[in-house]
Structures are given as C-alpha cells and as structure tokens.
Structure 1
Amino acid sequence: MKKKVIAALFAMFIGGITASAQDPMVEKKNTDRKPPYIYPEESIVRDNIEKWQDMKFGMFIHWGTYSQWGIVESWSICPEAYKFCMVRPEGMNYFDYVRKYEDLKKTFNPVKFNPEKWAEAAEYAGMKYMVFTTKHHDGFNMYDTQYSNYKITDAECPFHTDTNADIAKGIFDAFRGKGMMAGAYYSIADWNNNDYWWDYFPPKDRNVNYPPEMFPEKWQNLNDFINNQLDELTGGKYGKLGMLWFDLCDASPEKHPQWERFAKTVRTNQPGIMMVARHTNSIYENYRTPEQKIPDRALDYPWEACMTMATQWSYKPDDIYKSTHDILTTLVQIVSRGGNFLLNVGPGPDGELAPEAYQRLKEIGDWMQVNSEGIYGTKAIAPYKEDRIAFTSKDNNVYAFYLNAKGEHMPSVVKIKSFVPVSAKSVFLMGYNRPLKWKKTGDGIEIVIPESVRKNPPCDLVWGFKLKVK
C-alpha cells in the first residue's frame, strides 16, 4: 500500500515536469564565446577527431534505475532549487527520498533489454557512433565495476543474473558489431560516493560537500576512485572505445580533478582515445558539446550538438517525440555548420525503446538512403545557409538541402544565389539519376524540377541537390 501511495505521488508531480532537464549552469557555459580551443598534442588523437568528424551522426543513450519512475536522470537527488531537480513529492523528506531512490537498484529488472535491436535501428538510421551512460551523476554503475556495489551487477539487483547483466558491455559489443564507434559517458560527479558527498556533511549542491584543501585524503580517494573506474572502462574488458564523454567535470569550485593523471591512464590503455571533458576549455576537451541548441554560425573547432529525441534525456512515460521533419532539419543545419549530431534516446525500465523512437530511426534511415552522400565526410562551406537552403561540401561538390516547411510539397523551382554549377549537366536531385535543368538569373541560379519528380520524389522531405562547382 505504501509503495502505491508513493507511486501515485510521483505520478502527480512528474506529470507537470516537461522540460528536458536543461541545466541553467550548462546554459551559462553553452555559448560560442569561449576561450580558444586547444588542439590535442598527440597526432593519433587529432587523426581520430578528424575521423569522428566525418561520421556526423550518433546515438546518445541515457539509461539508469531512474527510468522506473520516469523522472529526470539523477537530478532529483541534487539539492538545487531548479525546477528540473524538484520532482520529489511535496512533504517527502529529502533523505527519505534519497533512500527510496537508491533502493531502485533492488527493483531494476530490464528483461526486454536487447542491445542488438537498438544497434540495428541505429545502423539503419545512418548513425556511425554511439555514447552510453556508464555512470550518471547519481553514481549508479551500468557496468560491472569492482569499485562500487551500487551497480547493475550487484546481487541486490534482480537483473544481475541475466546473461546481459553487464549492460555497458552488451551495448558496446552490439554497436561495434554493426561497425559503429562506441563511446562511454562517465560523470565525474558521483552522488553515491562517500568521497564525493561525504556523509559527515549534508550535500549542498552538485559539487563535493567539503573543501578539498581541508580534507585532502577525501579528495585523493575520490580521484583514485575515478582513475580506477576509467582504468576498468579502457583496460580491455569493454573493448575499443572511441571517446570518453565526461560530464559535471568540475567536482569542486576550489580544485580541479586530476585530469592529467586520468589522461595518462586511459591513453596508456587506449592510445588515441578522445577525451571530452565538457566545459573545461582545456586540452582534455577534444571537442565541444553544445546542449539542446544549434550554434548560430559555423564554428572553427570540433563540436557536437547533443539533443533529445523526446523532451527529456531519460525515459518518460508518454513522452512527446520530435517529428522526423524536425530531426532531419536539425541534422542538416548542424552538419552545414561543421558539427556532429548526437541524438538521444531514453530506454524504459523494461529495457525497450518507445515505438516512436524506432519509427523516427526508421524514417531517418529512409532519408539517409537517399541523401547520406551530402552528410558523411562533408565540410562546412560559406555562407552555410541561404534562406531555407543549407549547404555542405565534399570534393568539388556542394550539397544544397531544401528545408521545407512542414506539409510543404516539393517546389517546381529552387533558387540558389551562392553557387553556380560548372556545366549544364552538373545539377542533380539526390535519389534521381538524371541531371536537372537550371538557368542563371540576375542573382544566382534557378533549378527546375520536373512535375513527374515532384509527384513522386525520392524522399518525402528535406530534399538534397548536388551541384558540381569546380
């Protein structure tokens, strides 16, 4: 009965939370006006960054015990007065809530977990890499760590007897098996670790709750713990990783974690692995990660926009998913400005993705079958966007994507001001194997699209044109 009452309270309060857990602290850092990007010293890392930049499109997966309540990932146990943190039922004591939250480990049993199914869907969608939350801020480990009992493989977790109990390993293996790069998200914050939130003091915010200079042994223990876990993830059991995608990287406003030590550990294990120490503006931030936004211009450093497919990073019952039109428009605009797109899905407590997620991935894949040539391996080219047309480039070609309005049919004429093809037979609609007629005008060119093509276009939206310009 008590559990039913708690569940009902959660349903009442969760219903009013619709934000995607956009952290105001991240938003303050989520700006193009940053210190100059620092290129890594190692040539193998620089080479891997270039290879990753050509991949363009990846899958982000946020998953943990919190999916059982359908709430924001981790943040509900953080004592900060932001709306997305405040999903605890009114009147419930903070410490009682944390105990119930941590007890979610004892009921987490995602028996429908099938990483191969996820990997197949991502592969068809044209995704070339993935990043999975091995440990989010709450400290629950979705892999078989030897340095914490707060993990998916602990004897108190009912899923620990499953053949896929080491969830991270299953995911990494499945996606690599489809030819995709595997990446591990790892939060420096660990709100279950007594060397992060020391139980001598109450937690006060997302950072450690003690002064590191006053308690150096606690601080050193925390850094040892982080280093040991990074050694586990990169030491061989979890295979080759393309990147370590770090979050909440500061830990303390007074003292930085031992990033040089972490880098030595992971790059001794896996030379060339990319480190993404978000918002540190350091040599350990090999690419930058604007969150839930598209920069308003092309950026002169490696970057990736991470965005949700629905309204929040983690699973939410009956969540509202972005349309395929909106996702593709976002993809094209990100790529046209030189970035990568990391699109997030949040599996449910049973281990399945929502039907809407599979549908979006299928429809994205259908579009990629036609237009991927203008996505992979392309570079940004000025002016990047012109009215409703976004540009990418590769070799001697410019790709012009017409960003149609929702419900808009293919136009009979497409006007481009910024580029002129080299010959009469050097303009194509991708997915249509005959050259299109075009003519010069006073301020550019006009591409004429035959009626037969308009009635039966190679894809339903965001049409791509290929122009040979040199």
Structure 2
Amino acid sequence: MIISRSFRSRSAKRLVSQAVHCSFQQLNKYSLCLVLSLFLLVSVPSAQAQEQQVHPQSTKYEWPAEPAVKEKLENWRDQKFGMIIHWGLYAVPGMIESWALCSEDWITRDSTSNYDDFKKWYWGLKKDFNPVQFNPDQWAKAAKDAGMRYLVFTTKHHDGFCMFDTKETDFKITNGPFAGNPKANVAKHVFDAFRKQGLMIGAYFSKPDWHCPYYWWPMYATPDRNNNYDIRKHPWRWNKFKEYTYNQISELMHDYGSMDILWLDGGWVRPLETVTDEVRAWGAAIPAWSQDIDMPAIATMARKAQPGLLIVDRTVHGPYENYQTPEQRVPEKQLDHPWESCITLGDNWGYVPNDKLKSSSKVIHQLIEVVAKGGSLLLGVGPTPEGTLTEPVVQRLSEIGTWLKVNGAAIYNTRPIQGYQSGNVYFTQSKNTRSVYALALLEENAPIPATIEWSVNTPAKGAKMKLLSTGATVKYVVTGDKVKVTIPAAVQKAQSSYPALAFEFVVAGD
C-alpha cells in the first residue's frame, strides 16, 4: 500500500513532498483498520507549482517596547541554532502532521474514499500511540551535541492532540495507553530534559484546533483549515473557543516551568483586519469573519506568568510577532530585524520511515547563510512513535556539532555585517569585540582548496588572520579590494573534505 504525502507549510502550502510506503504488516502493527486502503491522502505538487508557492518575506516588523522582552530577544539572537520537534499522532503511521485532516484542493483523495471515515481513523490513532521508549534525555543530548541553543516543542498541532496534561480536553497523551507511564505528561519531561542541557525553552502551540467542537463544529462539514461556521452568527461558540485556547496556553505558562518562547502556529487564526496580500498569497480561503482570539489578553497573561516571554504569533505582524519565521527557505537578502528559518533535517517535519536527511555539510551551509543574513536556524526533527530519535538523525546532529565546537565563535553571539557575502564566502561580526569572521562554504566531498578569496571586508593593515578550526595564523595578501588567503598544507592534508572554513580578523577602518 502506498500513501502519498505533500509537505504543506503550517501557514501556507508546503514546498517539499515525499511518498511513504506502508506495508499491511506495518499497518497491523498499529492496529489500523483496513479502511485505510481507501485513502490516497495527498497529491505531490509539481516542481513548477511548488515554485509558484514561494512568496517574498515580509519586511513589516515591530520591535518590542517592554525592557524584559527586549532583553530576552537579544539573548535569543545570540543563540543562532535551535531544534523544533514535531511529535504527535502522525508519528504512529509515519505520515504528514495533521494536514491530511484538512479538506482543501491541494489535498486529493481516492474517489472512493470516505472523508468521515478517514477523520475517525486519524483521531482514533490515540488508542495506538504508546511511546514506551520515550527518551527526552536522548533528544536533549543530541541537541546539545549538535551545538543547538534553544528548543521549540509541539505541545499541540492542528489536529488538536495535546502532548501535555491539559484539563480542557481528553484528547491528549495522558488519556490513552501511555497514561500510566511515569513520563506520560510528555511536554513536562521534554522541557525538563532540555533545561538540564542549558537550552532556552519554547512551546509550539497551534491556534487552530481541528478536533475542538468550538473550532470545527461537528454540525457542519470541514471544507478547509478555517473554522467551519460563521462566527458573526455564533459568537457564543467562538467565545468558547477563545476561552479554550486561553486556558490551554495558561496551563503551559503556569505549570511547565520557565518558558522563553511561546511559538504560535496557524497564522490564518487572526483578526480579519490583519489579513494582507501576503496572507492572500498563501492561496487558502479567507473567511468573511474575524478569527480573533484576543492576543492582547493571552500575551498579558503569559508574560505575567513568564516575564520577558518572547511571543511568536507567526505572520501576524505587530507587537506579538517578536521574530519572524520564514519556513523551509532562507530569505534572499539580509534582514534588519529578528528572524529564524525553520527548516527540516529531512523532507518531513515529523517522523517518516526512511526519510531522506540533509547532509551535515548542507545544514552547516544553511546555518552560515542564515546567520550572515541576520537570522537563526531552527532545525526540524521528528521522534519515532516509540519515542526516540533514529540513529541516522543523532549521527547527523553530532556531525554538525563537531564543526560548531571549533567554529562556533563565527556563529554564536554574532550580528550581521553590511558586506555579508562575497561569492561562496559569508561574513559575520562579533557582538562584543572587533572581530569579523569570514566563513567559506566548501564543496561537499571535495578536497580543501589551496586558497580562499573574497572581495569585501578587507583586513586592517597588519592585522593577523586566524583559522578557527586550528587556531593557527594564516597568510593572506590584499590586492585592491581582493583578499587571498593561503590554506596551510597541513590543513589540506588533515581533512579530505570539510563543510566550511572560518577565519577571524579585524577589518580596515575599525
């Protein structure tokens, strides 16, 4: 049996697709009923269609005014590299997270399929989700070993299944086969494990909730991602949803320890007056009513519980979008406000068997480009239904960390510099010193070149230049505006290939 999955952006159309093959033996393992064979979940968009889905990164940004938030934001900007973990019901069959529930035109199903049966099957995965090997300490150590500095964990995705012990619904990890486990309150143990490793803590929370009857009213069909009734005609029902959302976020802010980030997904849940051409470009339906959940009230409550909390109300530009989050891509140009690129390590956000992982060199190159352009990289991984990260994922993260251990000075605690790129060389500058860093991206699986050249950020006259990976001083010459660095022969011999070389120096004029 083959189930196709299209990668869909959480706030727009996904730009990456992967087919996942499931045998009937695998289905039986999780007690999935034969009705699953009716469903062809998602079609894969053509390369041309994927290209058309990309829209420019917005430059609208409002800097926070509250001193504690400004201080936290500057601290976050020092970290540069984080992990986002998608884990929920979708891990059981190893499929796209939540989106198969959404009946939009980019999702196609077999003409004989029954949508209501599919929803019952998907939500019924609750009885099969029993991650008895759940190991948050493994996840946290892998993140630490990778050189990551902050976490974002999915406490609830769009499907409404809660990975924390909420009192607002029984649709949660603590009400099922895992309920009796000492680590049943998953989010608590994830946050605790990552705090022990010294990482900043972020809670992902989906504003839409497709399982909640106050968002998707069972009386009506569910044609798209939006709530499925006219809020203007049924204000009581929407007020119940607002209360539900407020209470769940309050639980996370009061009962799960110190929080640094509240990362809110589902940007279509927003005041109608904030819908812009940027939002319309997603191609999703825009209701005639406002899906306003009263962010001022939520923010006031959350920051009272967690002073200085960063709030990331994705794509809703204004006081509650403390940094912006382009997804599955790096902006074309340097941006002058806080942002992060959230990009998957594989082709999927959550666990999918045999997912194709990016090489460590590819991730390091993305990290360098992101940081040089003023952002941070949030790398996505998905634990297995049993509760562990696969060995290939752990190995890839370790490789990234090995590079960062000796080159991290060019990444952490840096800020963008005006001349940030010259060919395959990117530049950053230290936040606290006069140091400038040149990071040369090297071709994967190719020998280290004898020389590296660039044409901006000329070293000051007589300035020494250090190769971070060895600490050795390297020779260079300046001809006009061109800098040519000689790579020591010992470095070339020691490494058959290397992701990137980083050089530290002081630029002319400083």
Give the equivalent residue in structure 1 for 2:319: 283
Matches of 1:51 and 1:435, distance apart in 2: 31
Matches of 1:343 and 1:278, distance apart in 2: 17
Give the equivalent residue in structure 2 for 1:140: 161
Matches of 1:141 and 1:305, distance apart in 2: 25
Is the CA contact (8 Å cut-off) linking 2:445 and 2:496 kept in structure 1? Answer: no
1:409 aligns with 2:447: yes
Matches of 2:304 and 2:53, distance apart in 1: 34
Is the CA contact (8 Å cut-off) linking 2:367 and 2:377 kept in structure 1? Answer: yes
Matches of 2:491 and 2:41, distance apart in 1: 46
1:10, CA displacement in angstroms? Answer: 5.5
Give the equivalent residue in structure 1 for 2:135: 114
Greater alpha carbon shift after TM alignment, 136-145 vs 4-13: 4-13
| Amino acid of the structure 2 residue aligned with 1:405 | E
The one of 228, 232, 250 aligned to 2:247: 228
| Amino acid of the structure 2 residue aligned with 1:467 | F
Give the equivalent residue in structure 1 for 2:56: 31
1:48 aligns with 2:81: no
- Structure 1 segment 210-249 matched on structure 2, within 5 A: 210-235=229-254, 237-249=255-267
Give the equivalent residue in structure 1 for 2:208: 189
Matches of 2:258 and 2:476, distance apart in 1: 48
| Amino acid of the structure 1 residue aligned with 2:105 | A
Is the CA contact (8 Å cut-off) linking 2:42 and 2:106 kept in structure 1? Answer: no
Q: Could you say what the CA RMSD is over the residues aligned between the two structures, in angstroms? A: 2.5
| Amino acid of the structure 2 residue aligned with 1:317 | P
1:312, CA displacement in angstroms? Answer: 1.1
- Structure 1 segment 48-67 matched on structure 2, within 5 A: 48-67=72-91
TM-score by length of 2: 0.85
Matches of 2:42 and 2:498, distance apart in 1: 35
1:289, CA displacement in angstroms? Answer: 0.2
Give the equivalent residue in structure 2 for 1:360: 396
Deviations along 1:302-321, one digit per CA (max 9) or x if unpaired, are 10100000001111111100
Is the CA contact (8 Å cut-off) linking 1:424 and 1:437 kept in structure 2? Answer: no
TM-score by length of 1: 0.92
The one of 179, 183, 192 aligned to 1:164: 183
1:460, CA displacement in angstroms? Answer: 2.4
- Could you say if the C-alpha distance between residues 188 and 27 of structure 1 is closer, same or farther in structure 2, counting changes exceeding 3 Å? farther
Matches of 1:205 and 1:14, distance apart in 2: 18
Aligned residues: 460
The one of 348, 360, 376 aligned to 1:340: 376
Deviations along 1:368-405, one digit per CA (max 9) or x if unpaired, are 11100000010111221111101111121111111111
Is the CA contact (8 Å cut-off) linking 1:9 and 1:89 kept in structure 2? Answer: no
- Could you say if the C-alpha distance between residues 312 and 230 of structure 1 is closer, same or farther in structure 2, counting changes exceeding 3 Å? same
Matches of 1:227 and 1:456, distance apart in 2: 56
Matches of 2:37 and 2:143, distance apart in 1: 31
- Could you say if the C-alpha distance between residues 202 and 8 of structure 1 is closer, same or farther in structure 2, counting changes exceeding 3 Å? closer
Q: What is the SS of the residue equivalent to 2:262?
A: strand
Matches of 2:490 and 2:43, distance apart in 1: 47
Deviations along 1:98-137, one digit per CA (max 9) or x if unpaired, are 1111111011011111001110110011100000000000
Is the CA contact (8 Å cut-off) linking 2:469 and 2:501 kept in structure 1? Answer: no
| Amino acid of the structure 1 residue aligned with 2:454 | I
- Could you say if the C-alpha distance between residues 184 and 176 of structure 1 is closer, same or farther in structure 2, counting changes exceeding 3 Å? same
Give the equivalent residue in structure 2 for 1:95: 116
| Amino acid of the structure 2 residue aligned with 1:46 | K
- Could you say if the C-alpha distance between residues 287 and 160 of structure 1 is closer, same or farther in structure 2, counting changes exceeding 3 Å? same
| Amino acid of the structure 2 residue aligned with 1:363 | E
Matches of 2:454 and 2:298, distance apart in 1: 49
Greater alpha carbon shift after TM alignment, 294-303 vs 421-430: 421-430
Deviations along 1:200-219, one digit per CA (max 9) or x if unpaired, are 11112111111111101001
| Amino acid of the structure 2 residue aligned with 1:426 | K
- Could you say if the C-alpha distance between residues 18 and 332 of structure 1 is closer, same or farther in structure 2, counting changes exceeding 3 Å? farther
Show structure 2 runs of 5+ residues with no match: 1-23, 271-286
